[in-house]
A and B are shown apart, each in its own frame.
Chain A
Amino acid sequence: DAEITQSPRHKITETGRQVTLACHQTWNHNNMFWYRQDLGHGLRLIHYSYGVQDTNKGEVSDGYSVSRSNTEDLPLTLESAASSQTSVYFCASSSQGGLADTQYFGPGTRLTVL
Chain B
Amino acid sequence: AQSVTQLDSQVPVFEEAPVELRCNYSSSVSVYLFWYVQYPNQGLQLLLKYLSGSTLVKGINGFEAEFNKSQTSFHLRKPSVHISDTAEYFCAVSSGGGYNKLIFGAGTRLAVHP
Contacts and interface: CB of A to CB of B under 8 A. Distances in A.
Given A43-B104, A45-B101, A99 B43 contact: no
Contacts of B105: 42
A106 B51 CA distance: 24
A90 B51 contact: no
Nearest to B91: A42
B50 to A, nearest CB: 9
B94 interface: yes
B32 interface: yes
A42 B104 contact: yes
Interface in B13-37: 32, 34, 36
Interface in B87-114: 90, 94-96, 98-102, 104-107
B84 interface: no
A100 interface: yes
Contacts of A96: 100
28 contacts: A4-B43, A31-B100, A35-B104, A40-B9, A42-B4, A42-B107, A43-B44, A43-B90, A43-B102, A43-B104, A45-B101, A92-B43, A92-B44, A94-B100, A96-B100, A97-B99, A97-B100, A98-B99, A98-B100, A99-B32, A99-B96, A99-B100, A101-B100, A103-B100, A105-B43, A106-B43, A107-B41, A107-B43
Interface of A: 4, 31, 33, 35, 40-45, 48, 56, 58, 90, 92, 94, 96-108
Given A42-B107, A45-B102, A105-B43, 10 more contacts: A31-B100, A42-B90, A43-B90, A98-B100, A100-B32, A100-B49, A101-B100, A102-B34, A103-B100, A104-B45
